[in-house]
Structure 1
């Protein structure tokens, strides 16, 4: 039976790629074909982790991957051109395989599981989740004149989830609750800023990623081993330069 589980990450990732590709080829059935891919990853994660990892721990470790897959389905609405479509498919396949592979190691061979492996993957997924969430939402507001408040609420909810599921392993439950509220505040401000700034979809997404990741990085300085002050200044300066560059070089609409 373990042989079947061993093949499950690769088989599920392949199924995700096929289903996402099929969704692009059958736009009238949106979003149900792609949703099947997301459900396949959820089912595979549950099958591998049951009786080995608690359901709560599994959901907490895999939620960013589930969220990314859902956001990629959302991003299909405004994806134009082969490059944009293949970017979504490849990202969905890679994130599914990597997360499920690490979950397999955690469930069946813990000695081979990299320390905080899924936590590191979850942090790496944050920019992609934010970029597709914000850029697609801004595009829908511009093209469909959809409610701005729905978009702001969406970004806020996504931010709360990301701050909770990317918490430092050494954080207490009380600290995680505090960071969830901070995440909500950051998401609210990012959403409002994106609504007010007349910038393109891609730039809005990039701005959201930068602001959000700066706050996430600041959280890291509260836990040991604490990065050096020199590194902190270099990271802060780099983030400031990137934000100023985006604002000053982008075409305002």
Structure 2
């Protein structure tokens, strides 16, 4: 692979990201220990901060893979600092996904880093750059679900288990959505280098609307039901039951109240 060089400052982790990581750590501790009077508030802050961390890592994976594939411009753009404020569309990449988590509990993918594809040679490299982001969500989901499929939850407070289950659901959702071969999503970016010029030219005008198309499909009850049944099947295979995910979402949306089932379980 191409040897890429960037300055040290281009690769220095941003204080913004470190601050988000600190919030994740502190609120995760508060959720675990029950330090907060309102466990839902701690769960809300923990899951939201952890979700933003995963979004930053998703975009970092794109940029880092692009760097080692030949696009050294990603360093000067600040993409290697993990600073979400450096993204091309901070609204689409951070704000909108967080809003969708709050509103509907869905891991909406966001697009952010601009890769100068003309600097990169080889179809495999282009595909790998696109795949790197959602693969990060897969890895994040594996970390979140590991305590469940390793049966290592003895003594872990239920509130933390629920928060972890809900966070895992978001990561699985984001990975599946991102891997859809829809123009504008990473899944299409994986296959695009292998398509003919004519096909790419015909599809290109629809790329800005790909995410909106997926979102519209998910509003169809039958599609929404099938999609989340698939998510539940993946989570069940990883040892997470739907009750834990639902309780995690209820705790996350603490302003709506938490069912007795999740408090006394």
TM-score under structure 1 normalisation?
0.36
Higher helix share: 1
TM-score under structure 2 normalisation?
0.34
Q: Which structure carries more relative contact order (alpha carbon 8 Å, separation 6+)?
A: 2
